[in-house]
Amino acid sequence: MKIEFYEDQEDIKRNIKICEGRHVQQVAYSSYHDALTQICFGCDTIRTSLKEDDVKQKSKDNNNVDGEVKDGN
C-alpha cells in the first residue's frame, strides 16, 4: 500500500466520498492528533492528515535493528 499525506482533512473526505460504494475502505479519526485517516483497499492507498515526520518517527521507534516490529511489552 502506498501512503499519501494531506494537510487538509477536506481532501481526504473528498477521497472517501469518491471511493464510497466502490471500494472497501476503513476510516478513522484521532481526536488526540486531530487527524483523519482513510485506508482504501480498492485504491491500495492510505491517505492521512497525520504529519509525515511523525509517522516516520513512530515507525522507526516501533522497529528494532533487525526490522522486526516490537510487541509493545
Helices (H) and strands (E) in the chain, counts: 2, 4
C-alpha cell at position 65: 535493528
Neighbouring residues of 23: CB distance < 8 A, sequence distance ≥ 6: 40, 41, 42, 43
Q: How confident is the model at residue 69 (pLDDT cuts 50, 70, 90)?
A: low
Q: How confident is the model at residue 70 (pLDDT cuts 50, 70, 90)?
A: low
Q: Quick: pLDDT tens for 17-58.
A: 999 999 999 999 999 999 999 999 999 999 999 988 777 777
Give the per-residue pLDDT at 72.
53
Lowest mean pLDDT among 2-6, 7-11, 41-45, 54-58: 54-58
Q: How far is CA 42 from CA 1, 4, 16, 50, 73, in A?
A: 10, 15, 12, 21, 34
